[in-house]
Chains A and B, each alone.
Chain A
Amino acid sequence: MASDREEHSRWPKRLYEQGDEPDPRFTLANERTFLAWIRTALALMAGGVGIEALNAVTGHPNPLRTALAVALLLAGVLCSATAFTRWMTTERALRQGRPLPAPRLAPALGYGLGVIGVASCVLLLLTGV
């Protein structure tokens, strides 16, 4: 049967070897969550590059600005790197009928962005740009 062949060719194999096929709606929802994390990562990176671009526009490079840009970019890389492993652990939990893993990155990201927001306010007050 075609679907049997498709099932065995799916990557990553060690994920699809375990458990049963879940409700496809859950698989699709898991995929959308993964994509939302990727978009979040891209937004963080765009913020980082944007802040760094201000250094060039103003002509007065500020180390705090560069530090903020690096922090945002690192957060973006971390976000995208963990997005796939989280997709995989969620899919595995769905296949095995276990509870879904807790979003460990979400609180860290929330507080981290809060700190970055405060730092941006300080920067704005200090430099006016």
Chain B
Amino acid sequence: MARRPEGPWDPGLQIERTTLAWLRTTLAFVIGLLVLLRLMGHVNLLAALICAALALPLGLTIGWLLWRRHLDGERRLRERAPLPGGALPAAVTALAVVAGCSGLAFVLFA
């Protein structure tokens, strides 16, 4: 791969703003998860630990996919190739729905 070109792709810094939006969203996920696990720890410590063990690799994977999407997007913009598709947004949507349903389960059954 060629050396990363200097300077942004456009003066609006679109890709940078988009990646930052992804980062904020990931942070919101992680913080929400930590709070939920903390609360769950009061009810069932084992379940909380299992959830944490499952969530940690998931979070790292999302972070890695995110970074790859950024580099890929930047390369495609410069090559005038189409941007990445909707697989990651769909995955994040599914994750958010799962998070909401676990929250509901926590409120109704814990």
User: What is A's interface to B at a CB cutoff of 8 Å?
Assistant: 2-3, 6-7, 9-12, 15-16, 21, 24-25, 27-29, 31-32, 34-36, 38-39, 41-43, 45-46, 48-50, 52-53, 56, 66, 69-70, 73-74, 76-77, 80-81, 83-84, 87-88, 91
Contact = CB atoms under 8 A, between A and B. Distances in A.
Contact of A49 (B14, B17, B24, B36): B36
A38 B92 contact: yes
Contacts, number: 130
B108 A70 contact: yes
Interface string B73-108: 100110111111111011011001101110110111
Contacts of A9: 85
B21 A35 contact: yes
A56 B42 contact: yes
Query: Chain A: interface secondary structure?
Result: helix
A41 B96 contact: yes
A65 B17 CA distance: 37
A80 B97 contact: yes
Given A41-B96, A46-B35, A53-B39, A84 B90 contact: yes
B76 A49 contact: no
B100 A80 contact: yes
Nearest to A85: B93
Nearest to A33: B21
B87 A38 contact: no
A48 B86 contact: no
Interface string B25-49: 1001100100110010010000000
A9 B15 CA distance: 21
Of A35, A43, A83, most B-chain CB atoms within 10 Å: A35
B61 interface: no
A2 B99 CA distance: 37
Contact of B93 (A6, A10, A73, A80): A80
30 contacts: A3-B76, A6-B76, A6-B82, A7-B81, A10-B85, A11-B85, A11-B87, A12-B86, A15-B85, A15-B86, A25-B10, A27-B83, A28-B14, A42-B25, A42-B32, A42-B99, A46-B32, A49-B36, A49-B103, A49-B106, A52-B106, A56-B42, A69-B107, A80-B93, A80-B96, A80-B99, A84-B86, A84-B89, A84-B93, A87-B89
